[in-house]
Structure 1
């Protein structure tokens, strides 16, 4: 009887699929045993608890799990892998969704469709960088966030000045946001203490934020000189328009250029791939999709404005595009050409050399 029981609970040739809808306080989990829907339940967000459940109920099984990329990052994926569960993290937009599931969206539905798609082989895991690169990404993304916040505060200060008709003296215009200009803000007159305090607080916020950005930039520059990044940074900064900060943002997001099969795949990752729809035998390209790294796309577009002034080939290309479309669309096409240069130098380990022809 003992031998019979042991044989019955042997899942060594069985694939077990786990779909996880992860949240901060709990996980909603769906388990499929081959074609059988075993159970949907809630557990604490701890990979070890899930691992114990699987090994207790399906000893010896082949365990597979998937969850959607989001706020929780890759830590759960890393622990699941250490526990012997083959894990992938997927882009939420890539999980096939039936019409009924679109109308009824909840945690139970989400974990079930993830498990089903995992079993059917419909999911492809996104790239998971090392913990060191993840932390460097956090630092670089904070740089973007603080820079945007700095712009917002500057606009708020200008709004206060404009609202009360305070004009910036001509001699201060050229030194906009310099230390001298900041001191001048402290001398602006108001009818009451309320107005003076409002501007003073905004100015203090700006000064504090600028100091934090200085600390960030200093650390980013130090990072760029480490063995982890220095070779890529040297290659990227040889491309017209790409400065050190942009190069660092590109490096920590791309990590390994060879994981992209072609330029289209890289452009899609960055967010420079247009939407596409087809009718009969015709294919139409639309606006840029919202997928991709928005902050990298923004940096590349900004770099493209610099590149068209310094790179003769890009200057000529931009002039030709401008004959057919508005500047904003033309610069997007230049950004894609710039991305192609970036791909070339990283793949071939060669510095970019400016040429007249593209």
Structure 2
């Protein structure tokens, strides 16, 4: 019996405390515990700021939907349906006018909300680029942006949400934490695989799914845009080669799945799972 157990036995013979003490002693004796890294107050503050930006993005999406619905209800549909929110669209929308005074007032309110949220998000994106230069996350961000589908904003959000990548001993643990692994309902010799568990960090899972879709759209012949080359200029050749290998594998895997008739969302989840494994490898120095 450890000192913890003896101490609890003296507390009026409380049986519950005794069992608790024994459980703790057993855990300590067999070292069946793992260290937990608590994020600093600064990291928590950065996380809350990126979450505030996500909230604004959701509001922006809703405001755009409401504006388009208003225009559709009143016979003012954009001539090039489907190509919304481009410079050409915003030029067109400035020409929209209604004869009724209160109809025009309603339109002005919908449009003002879109412009307001758009400006706020652009301002927050500028501040997130400043956050990316902070010493606490700069090294992680510089590595993450080497992946073709991960821009500065996504890299910052991933870094502040996960923070300590070393707490995951394997890539499988990291994938499981993100909820990107399939569930299982098996009994005896019967093995039944279920859809994704979606039981982990929802924000990073969504970010990786969007990043995988962006990777699939990259040039299959290896030609990189100026923006991607700019992001990779400060990285070592080993990290760049590792990120390029990830891009090629993810793009190939997603296209093969879709050629086999798999749903677009299924291929995106598969690409996100591959990306998560590569991210874990980069953050833990497993890039050989």
Category of TM-score, reference length = shorter chain: 0.7 to 0.9
1:274-313 equivalences under 5 Å are 274-310=182-218, 311-313=247-249
1:49 match: none
Of 132-141 and 269-278, more deviation after overlay is shown by 269-278
Determine if the alignment matches structure 1 residue 218 to structure 2 residue 126.
yes
1:61-80 equivalences under 5 Å are none
1:182–1:203 contact (8 Å) kept in structure 2? no
Gaps of 5+ in 2: 22-32, 219-246
Deviations 1:62-112 (A, max 9, x none): 9xxxxxxxxxxxxxxxxxxxxxxxxxxxxxxxxxxxxxxxxxxxxxxxxxx
Determine if the alignment matches structure 1 residue 339 to structure 2 residue 248.
no
By relative contact order (CA 8 Å, sep 6+), the higher-ranking structure is 2
C-alpha RMSD of the superposition = 3.0
1:44-193 equivalences under 5 Å are 128-169=38-79, 176-178=85-87, 181-182=89-90, 184-193=92-101
For residue 12 of structure 1, report the CA deviation from its aligned partner.
9.0
Deviations 1:241-283 (A, max 9, x none): 1111111111011101110122222112222122221121333
Give the count of matched residue pairs.
237
For residue 336 of structure 1, report the CA deviation from its aligned partner.
0.6
TM-score by length of 2: 0.73
Q: 1:325 to 1:200 in 2, by over 3 A?
A: same
Distance 2:200 2:160 in 1: 15
2:16 match: 35
| Structure ranking higher in helix proportion | 2
Gaps of 5+ in 1: 1-10, 16-32, 37-61, 63-122, 353-358
TM-score by length of 1: 0.59
Deviations 1:144-182 (A, max 9, x none): 111111111011100011111113255x9868354x744
> What SS does structure 1 have at the residue aligned with 2:194?
strand
Structure whose alpha-carbon radius of gyration is higher: 1
Deviations 1:267-304 (A, max 9, x none): 12222122221121333221122422222211111110
Q: 1:228 to 1:307 in 2, by over 3 A?
A: same
Alignment counterpart, residue 13 of structure 1, candidates 1, 7, 29? 7
Q: 1:313 to 1:336 in 2, by over 3 A?
A: same
| Structure ranking higher in strand proportion | 1
Q: 1:160 to 1:147 in 2, by over 3 A?
A: same
> What SS does structure 1 have at the residue aligned with 2:38?
coil
